[in-house]
């Protein structure tokens, strides 16, 4: 089945630094990937839609300059949290859909802690 690999699974960074999270589709090509954020005991909130070769589409209220998305190839999308602050601490998850399959496959998530 379709597999989405997300790395790192956990990261701790200092306030003011930037963190990059990678999302790879391992056995299929994904022209579109989605980035979600999840707070403890809360549902997933779509942050942005990552489009291969073009600019990402951000949801209302999501800061484009803080959450930089790059989708340079058909198998890789990255989310960079710039100038991270403690309030950016959260669980970030990516997803993609393989052509010919139903539903969306999610990565295993990245737990970001900003100290």
Please say whether the dihedral angle defined by the alpha carbons of residues 71, 73, 74 and 76, taken in this order, is positive or negative: negative
Question: How far apart are alpha carbons 44 and 92 in whole angstroms?
Answer: 9
SS3 content of the chain, % helix, strand, coil (to 5): 5, 50, 45
**29 scored as a contact of other proteins (CB under 8 A):** no
From 84, 105, 112, 114, residue interacting with other proteins (rule: CB under 8 A) = 105
How many residues belong to the site for other proteins (CB under 8 A)? 24
> Rule CB under 8 A: which of 70-89 touch other proteins?
none
Q: Of residues 13, 74, 80, 104, which one binds other proteins by CB under 8 A?
A: 104
Closest CB 25 distance from other proteins, rounded Å: 13
């Amino acid at each position: 089945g379709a597999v989405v690999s997300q790395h790192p699974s956990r990261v701790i960074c200092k306030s003011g630094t930037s963190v990059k999270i990678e999302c790879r589709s391992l056995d299929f090509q994904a022209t579109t990937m989605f980035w979600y954020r999840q707070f403890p005991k809360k549902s997933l909130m779509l942050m942005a839609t990552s489009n291969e070769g073009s600019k990402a589409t951000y949801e209302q209220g999501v800061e484009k300059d803080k959450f930089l998305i790059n989708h340079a190839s058909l198998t890789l999308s990255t989310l960079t949290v710039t100038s991270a602050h403690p309030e950016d601490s959260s669980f970030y998850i990516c997803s993609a859909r393989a052509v010919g399959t139903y539903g969306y496959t999610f990565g295993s998530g990245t737990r970001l802690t900003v100290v």
